[in-house]
């Protein structure tokens, strides 16, 4: 079946970086084009540590939502060694904060305030388990002697596996998974444990980082892995297993910060993410599996109602701009100056 027009329940993006201040005028509209709701990551500088921080950040985002859109940001807190127990309890009474994000200190962009040792936050994790608040992991160890391509696998073996045994009721999302090891781990766990999958980890592997030269716009964390891992992610996304759902990890950085002698990690996918997921499911002859992955499984996991809105895309070629304005500079999006097959027509 090759339909030219498809209407599905409005999708949600379960892992998104919007940044702050002037960045919001670019990022919010790009996500609001395609997604009804998005779980917004808290790795600002300084990070979003308290429920009050999250509520005022949410207001700054809402102020940038285009008039014709009902886009809703859903918020997360950034876990630190010093997070107070009362902040975790406050989440339960907050209508806006859905989970807590765990960055191992030093693992990725703006993670220097992250957790230095999981034992320091066991008391907080215990409270999350008790209150049924999801804990979201950037799942990579930070030891520099561990090969960068193995950091997710080692995190699963040394941190996540023991944690699931210690707190069997804790709801966990392993974010932006990149390895077959992660897919196998998630499949083996209880229904409390799920994972998000980005479009760039489905479309690319580590060869794309070095195709004819160094390609800084493909550099993200966790880093792209070899094709056997990409194939495992593809199979998981297409499987219809509700433990795997959509999270773009769209992570904007200016062109100058990407194309630098020490470039930042992050792929800016929001301007085409949904269209590329459509293309990906279509090319794999599984378009009928897209709606579950994009619009149902994440909402079910987070215990919020599935969207009642819809979105329609048509087979209609368009070209991604070469760049956008971001923080008064340029930003290079995924698929810059390339053709896309699907276009959003009704929203
Ligand atoms: C993200 C960012 O830039 O905030 N970068 C990335 O490569 N994915 C952080 C993250 O999610 O690791
Ligand atoms: Zn991220």
Give residue 189's pLDDT.
98
First to last CA, the chain: 24
Distance 324 CA to ligand 1 centre (A): 19
Q: Distance (Å, rounded) from C-alpha 254 to C-alpha 98?
A: 29
Q: Which of 41, 140, 249 to mutate to test the pocket of ligand 1 (most atoms within 8 A of CB)?
A: 249
Structure tokens at 225: 């892995």
Residue 285: pLDDT over 80 = yes
Give residue 296's pLDDT.
99
Q: Tell which residue, 244, 250, 182, has the closest CA to residue 220.
A: 250
Q: Where are the beta strands (DSSP E) in 17-87?
A: 37-40, 72-78
pLDDT in tens, 152-208: 999 999 999 999 999 999 999 999 999 999 999 999 999 999 999 999 999 999 999
pTM of model > 0.95: yes
> Which residues lie across from 72 on neighbouring strands?
37
pLDDT in tens, 289-324: 999 999 999 999 999 999 999 999 999 999 999 999
Establish whether 184 is a catalytic residue: no
In contact, 195 and 138? CB cutoff 8 Å: no
Give residue 3's pLDDT.
85
Q: Tell which residue, 160, 173, 183, has the closest CA to residue 301.
A: 173
What average pLDDT does range 332-340 have in this prediction? 98
In contact, 42 and 76? CB cutoff 8 Å: yes
Distance 249 CA to ligand 2 centre (A): 4
Residue 244: pLDDT over 90 = yes
Distance 1 CA to ligand 2 centre (A): 34
Atom of ligand 1 nearest to the CA of 110: 4
What average pLDDT does range 252-278 have in this prediction? 98
Category of 143 on φ-ψ map: left (φ > 0), alpha (ψ -120 to 50) or beta? beta
Count CA within 13 A, CB hemisphere, residue 133: 28
In contact, 21 and 57? CB cutoff 8 Å: no
Give residue 346's pLDDT.
83
Sheet holding 72-78, edge to edge: 12-16, 37-40, 72-78, 97-102, 135-137, 172-174, 193-197, 244-246
Atom of ligand 1 nearest to the CA of 108: 12
> Which residues lie across from 315 on neighbouring strands?
342
Residue 115 confidence class, pLDDT cut points 50, 70, 90: very high
In contact, 59 and 127? CB cutoff 8 Å: no
pLDDT in tens, 27-43: 999 999 999 999 999 99
Distance 267 CA to ligand 2 centre (A): 9
Residue 1 confidence class, pLDDT cut points 50, 70, 90: low
In contact, 301 and 171? CB cutoff 8 Å: yes
Residues of 131-145 as b/e, b for ≥16 C-beta within 10 angstroms? Answer: eebbbbbbbbbbeee
Give residue 347's pLDDT.
79
Q: Which of 196, 250, 251 to mutate to test the pocket of ligand 1 (most atoms within 8 A of CB)?
A: 251
Q: Please give the mean pLDDT across all residues of the chain.
A: 97
Determine which one of 12, 13, 53, 249 is catalytic.
249
In contact, 8 and 310? CB cutoff 8 Å: yes
Residue 141: pLDDT over 90 = yes
In contact, 52 and 58? CB cutoff 8 Å: no
pLDDT in tens, 9-31: 999 999 999 999 999 999 999 99
């Amino acid at each position: 079946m090759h339909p030219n027009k498809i209407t599905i329940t409005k999708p949600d993006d379960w892992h998104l970086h919007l940044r702050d201040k002037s960045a919001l005028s670019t990022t919010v509209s790009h996500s609001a084009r395609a997604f009804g709701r998005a779980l917004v990551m808290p790795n600002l500088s300084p990070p979003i540590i308290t429920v009050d921080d999250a509520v005022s950040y949410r207001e700054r985002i809402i102020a940038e939502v285009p008039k014709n859109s009902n886009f809703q940001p859903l918020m997360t807190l950034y876990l630190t060694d010093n997070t107070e127990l009362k902040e975790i309890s406050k989440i339960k009474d907050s209508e806006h904060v859905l989970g807590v994000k765990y960055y191992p200190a030093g693992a990725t962009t703006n993670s220097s305030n992250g957790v230095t040792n999981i034992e320091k936050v066991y008391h907080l994790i215990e409270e999350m388990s008790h209150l049924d608040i999801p804990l979201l992991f950037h799942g990579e160890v930070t030891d520099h002697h561990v090969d960068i391509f193995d950091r997710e696998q080692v995190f699963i073996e040394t941190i996540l596996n023991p944690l699931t045994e210690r707190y069997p009721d804790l709801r966990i999302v392993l974010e932006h998974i990149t390895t077959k090891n992660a897919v196998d781990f998630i499949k083996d766990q209880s229904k409390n444990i799920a994972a998000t999958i980005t479009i760039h980890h489905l479309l690319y592997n580590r060869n794309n980082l070095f195709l004819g030269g160094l390609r800084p716009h493909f550099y993200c964390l966790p880093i792209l892995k070899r094709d056997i891992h990409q194939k495992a992610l593809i199979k998981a996304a297409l499987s219809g297993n509700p433990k795997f759902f959509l999270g773009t990890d769209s992570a904007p950085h200016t062109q100058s910060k990407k194309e630098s002698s020490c470039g930042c990690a992050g792929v800016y996918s929001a301007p085409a993410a949904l269209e590329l997921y459509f293309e990906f499911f279509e090319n794999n002859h599984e378009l009928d599996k897209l709606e579950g992955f994009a619009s149902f499984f994440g909402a079910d996991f987070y215990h919020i109602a599935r969207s009642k809105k819809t979105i329609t895309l048509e087979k209609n070629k368009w070209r991604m701009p070469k760049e956008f304005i971001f923080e008064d500079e340029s930003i290079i999006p995924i698929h810059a100056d390339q053709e896309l097959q699907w276009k959003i027509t009704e929203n």
